[in-house]
């Protein structure tokens, strides 16, 4: 749906048409339209309405309206509410504050970020804005806020793909998660799975040595996508009790899948030696 801003209406009945247009937009927002919610978050009748829809959007990770308000000196009331909410541990506000500080605030009397109309915001300045942005983001992640987990996954993806995947999985498990956010997360998850498939063996050895619980969880994620290497390694960890309890039934199942999907030699050998399944034996020419 394309929304026509009511202020574009002309004519003697402009006020009536304006009111009717806003009413339609409110109905669309109530029905779940993020475009309509974004319109009301920026151009609602008063601060209460703007805050209501800004908050709804922030709950699904769309912090644009709040970021705009937080860097606009004319929106000090909304800014104060968001800052208080963030300090009180509300994750949606933490994510918005992270975005604002990530824009490049510098030490001084206020925000060193110009808005579109040339005015300046009023948020408290800090000596290291990047560190402050990351601090708020990590707090939102620690609170289990799905959109923040997905945001951090994107930030660490290049250098820490395994951690990024872990964050995406946590984000997908969080509730509620807006369908559009879930779609983005699933696309990122698929991309990360492909990337990890190229470096799984090298990276996972280091992870297992330092954090076997995390390694076992990551292997489980990759095994769910029928990754043969992950199935083999997950079977080994279940068999030996690495990163979790010994689970021989699960180990056997993972080994069998690795053997059947990829004829994995190690998995086949363990199935013969531990469970006596001779039909999995590796032949002399293999």
Taking CA atoms, 198 is separated from 96, 163, 192, 193, 194, in Å, by 34, 15, 10, 9, 7
Q: How confident is the model at residue 4 (pLDDT cuts 50, 70, 90)?
A: very low
pLDDT at 8: 53
The lowest-confidence range among 16-25, 159-168, 260-269 is 16-25
35-69 confidence digits (pLDDT tens): 888 888 887 778 888 888 888 888 888 888 877 77
* 140: exposed, middle or buried (Cβ count in 10 Å: 0-12, 13-18, 19+): buried
Contact 66, 82 (CB under 8 A): yes
pLDDT over 80 at 107, yes or no: no
3-state secondary structure of 246: coil
pLDDT over 90 at 242, yes or no: yes
Parse the chain into domains and list their residue ranges.
1-62, 63-143
Least Cα distance to 70 among 125, 107, 18, 16 occurs for: 125
158-188 confidence digits (pLDDT tens): 888 888 888 888 888 877 777 777 888 888 8
pLDDT over 90 at 270, yes or no: yes
Helices (H), the chain: 14-30, 34-43, 47-59, 64-70, 76-87, 91-101, 129-142, 146-156, 161-173, 179-210, 212-223, 228-240, 248-262, 265-275
Mean pLDDT, residues 255-283 taken together: 89
3-state secondary structure of 270: helix
Q: Please give the Cα distance from 144 to 265 (Å, whole number).
A: 40
pLDDT at 104: 54
Mean pLDDT, residues 275-279 taken together: 90
Q: Please give the Cα distance from 201 to 264 (Å, whole number).
A: 14
pLDDT over 90 at 235, yes or no: yes
């Amino acid at each position: 749906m394309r929304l026509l801003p009511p202020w574009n209406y002309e004519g003697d009945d402009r006020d009536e048409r304006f009111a009717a247009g806003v009413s339609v937009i409110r109905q669309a927002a109530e029905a779940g339209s993020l475009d309509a919610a974004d319109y009301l978050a920026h151009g609602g009748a008063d601060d209460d309405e703007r805050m209501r829809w800004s908050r709804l959007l922030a709950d699904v990770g769309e912090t644009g309206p709040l970021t705009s308000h937080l860097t606009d000196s004319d929106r000090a009331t909304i800014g104060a509410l968001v800052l208080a909410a963030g300090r009180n541990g509300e994750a949606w506000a933490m994510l918005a504050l992270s975005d604002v500080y990530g824009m490049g605030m510098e030490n001084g009397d206020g925000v060193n970020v110009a808005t579109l109309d040339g005015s300046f915001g009023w948020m408290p300045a800090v000596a290291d804005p990047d560190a402050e942005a990351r601090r708020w983001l990590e707090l939102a992640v620690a609170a289990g806020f799905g959109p923040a987990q997905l945001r951090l996954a994107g930030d660490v993806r290049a250098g820490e793909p395994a951690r990024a995947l872990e964050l995406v999985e946590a984000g997908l498990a969080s509730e509620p998660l807006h369908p559009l956010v879930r779609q983005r997360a699933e696309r990122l998850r698929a991309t990360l799975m492909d990337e990890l498939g190229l470096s799984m063996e090298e990276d996972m050895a280091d992870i297992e040595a330092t954090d076997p619980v995390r390694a076992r969880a990551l292997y489980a994620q990759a095994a769910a996508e029928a990754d043969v290497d992950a199935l083999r390694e997950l079977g080994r960890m279940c068999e030996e009790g690495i990163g979790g309890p010994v689970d021989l039934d699960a180990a056997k199942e993972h080994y069998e899948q690795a053997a059947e999907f990829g004829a994995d030699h190690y998995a086949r050998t363990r199935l013969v030696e531990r469970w006596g399944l001779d039909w999995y034996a590796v032949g002399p020419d293999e």
